[in-house]
Structure 1
Amino acid sequence: MNKQPILDLLENYQTSFSEEIEFQKQIIDFLIQNDDFALRSNLIGQLTGSAWIVNRERTKVLLIHHKKLEKWLQIGGHIENTDQTIEETILREVKEESGIKNLNLLSSSIYDIDIHTIPQKKEIAEHLHFDIRLIIEADENETLIPQNEEILNIKWYSINEVQNLAKSTLSINQSMKRMTDKMAKFKS
């Protein structure tokens, strides 16, 4: 995958969240310094892509319960050799992990960025994921077919459930809270 379009997306990304401003600098530096930015053999980490999937009414978000990480997260994953763009990576991951076929990319701009640590698992050392996130719309009534190798559960949650952590059964991280806070911009 050519890294220049990703660098262009990152350089044009504007955010009011201080942690994302720092992530933006770090991801740009990582891409500039690493031609193997997508390869799992890069011991620092890999550029990954994920989707903040919302329903048409923008009232719900689709989350997966990740088997290895034992957390509720947005759908995403690694860049494959066949992916030409980060958009292709994200759309492929959503289709593979959820079974959803009808997807609408709401913006070609970045929705969110994050850097998070992936813990050591067997022979794979602890490393970072430099995550680019796009916002995608899907029909909440489309049949979900979760990829059983990586997913324990898949479910639509209301934005209010995700935002209201005290009443939620989810273990939400700061980046997921940030993505729900950004939803006001996309409400119809």
Structure 2
Amino acid sequence: MTIDITTAGLHADAVRSLRDWSVADADQEQLRLDYLAHLDAHPDGLWRSCLPAHITASAVVVDPSAGRVLLTLHPKVGIWLQMGGHCEPGDGTLAAAALREATEESGIAGLELLTADGLPTPVKLDRHRVRCTGKDQPENTHLDVQYVALAPAGAEALISEESLDLRWFAYDRLPELTDSSVRELVTLARGLTG
């Protein structure tokens, strides 16, 4: 892959974001180090074409004023998830990729990522197996960098073609079809946003 200035900038931002993010949890720290090793070994490590693994970006959309979280029923995996996906060439930063995905999939304008020291910061990492290259292709691994996106109070979501369904849920009433990673992310988001 030819590395252009945009690709190099996104790669450098991902390295900076992960390098500067401090975590107290030993499992999250190991994932952070694994992600950095992946990026060190793969200049194309943020792109879908990088196999068997690549970095992705996601954001859980919350409306703290109403104590609710927006989840999408993912058409490929059939469970409720946060918004997210693959980085694209127009994404200048990893946080921008997460915000773009959250905005596209939620239909909500004016989302803002949770920040620390004035910069959007990841809140959680999650490594999981998927079939994003096609159902007849081998599984690959998403190295997901997860953010929290704050919705304007009373925001109304608009379903996109990327969802089977899109709904707001009370923090303590998540749908049965969620996995432990989503539940952990929602708990974390709730704690960080009050």
Q: TM-score range by the shorter chain?
A: 0.7 to 0.9
2:170 aligned to which of 139, 155, 158: 158
Per the normalisation by structure 1, the TM-score is 0.87
- Correspondences of 1:76-87 after superposition (within 5 Å): 76-87=84-95
**Over the residues paired in the alignment, what is the CA RMSD in angstroms?**
1.8
Q: What letter is aligned with 1:129?
A: H
Aligned length: 180
Give distance in 2, aligned partners of 1:181 and 1:101.
24
Q: 1:22 aligns with which of 25, 30, 44?
A: 30
Quick one: which of 185, 189, 193 aligns to 1:179?
Answer: 185
Q: SS in structure 1 opposite 2:148?
A: strand
Find the aligned partners of 1:82 and 1:124 in 2 and give their Cα distance. Answer: 27
Q: C-alpha separation between the residues in 1 aligned to 2:98 and 2:85?
A: 7
- Deviation readout 1:88-110 (Å, 9 max, x if unpaired): 21121122112111112221111
Matches within 5 A, 1:1-188: 1=7, 2=9, 3-57=11-65, 59-107=67-115, 108-119=120-131, 121-139=134-152, 141-148=154-161, 150-162=162-174, 169-182=175-188, 183-187=190-194
How far did 1:140 drift?
5.7
Instruction: Could you tell me which runs of 5 or more consecutive residues in structure 1 were left unpaired when the two chains were aligned.
Output: 163-168
Q: Runs of 5+ in structure 2 lacking a partner?
A: 1-6
* Separation in structure 1 between the aligned mates of residue 26 and residue 184 of structure 2, nearest angstrom: 11
Amino acid at match of 2:124: D
